[in-house]
A and B are shown apart, each in its own frame.
Chain A
Amino acid sequence: MRKIKQQSKVQSEYKIKILGETIVTGPGTVPRSAGSVAQTSVKEMVSLLRKVSREGIFEPEDSHKYGSLQSSTK
């Protein structure tokens, strides 16, 4: 479950007005994606990052050809 606690409202909310609409910012202002997990699993993240690293998923040989990842995010 997402770690939203009531106390976070104390110093994390403020209002901004955009195109006449007042938006109260703070935790929960932007919805979670449909199909998203409720909370990141650190254990799974670590395990999958290690697998991705081992298999070189983010660094394909032909990455330069397609302008992928490494070049698109630097």
Chain B
Amino acid sequence: MDPSKAQQNNLYLFIDTCVIQAAGSKEKLKSEIVIGELEKIAKDYSLAISEFTLYENLHGLWGERRSEAAKLLRIYERIVVSDKVLLVASLLGGLYHDENLEGIDAGDKIIAATSILENGFVLTENHKDFPHPFFLTERSIPLTYLTAGRYNKTIDLAIYRPDSNLIKRRINEAENRK
């Protein structure tokens, strides 16, 4: 699928926790290059986060840091972790298992399920969390920046989209199992 920009504009791009943290990194050049990319991407997609991303980003923060992080996260359009999301996430566990895809945590399945239900996209640095054949690479986004140690480092982001036909078929087959 190669949706036109207008079509993409109707659909959510869910920003994974790792991308928010990379954009908010203390390393200025890393932060700036990711922020710049988010600005560009926002022209083509509706940026949103799952409620679970709110949890992941606030996890372990206290006091003023927590307040500042919450202020940032509240400017994103947030999508609920609904019962439908959890139903699909629970099925993904089985579907991933059938493909020998292990080690993907519940939070990533929740974000994956949200994108499946919305037929949206996911922006992440953690490629293994949105695995083939259930997710397809829409766009690879290598971002190279200069580290404090003055060497080049690349953060490899990617936009993934669910393979709707495959997922629909696999879910329907799984639901018909005896």
Contacts and interface: CB of A to CB of B under 8 A. Distances in A.
Interface of A: 2-5, 7-8, 10-19, 23, 25-33, 36-42, 44-46, 48-53, 55-60, 63, 66-70, 72-74
Contact of B164 (A14, A28, A32): A14
A50 B87 contact: no
Contacts of B97: none
A11 B69 contact: no
B88 A18 contact: yes
Interface stretch (B73-81, B133-141, B149-157): B73-81
Contact of B68 (A5, A31, A41, A55): A55
B158 interface: no
Contacts of A58: 20-21, 24-26, 57, 61, 69
Contacts of B168: 14-16
Instruction: List 3 A-B pairs, minimum CB-CB distance, nearest first.
Output: A68-B60, A8-B10, A52-B24
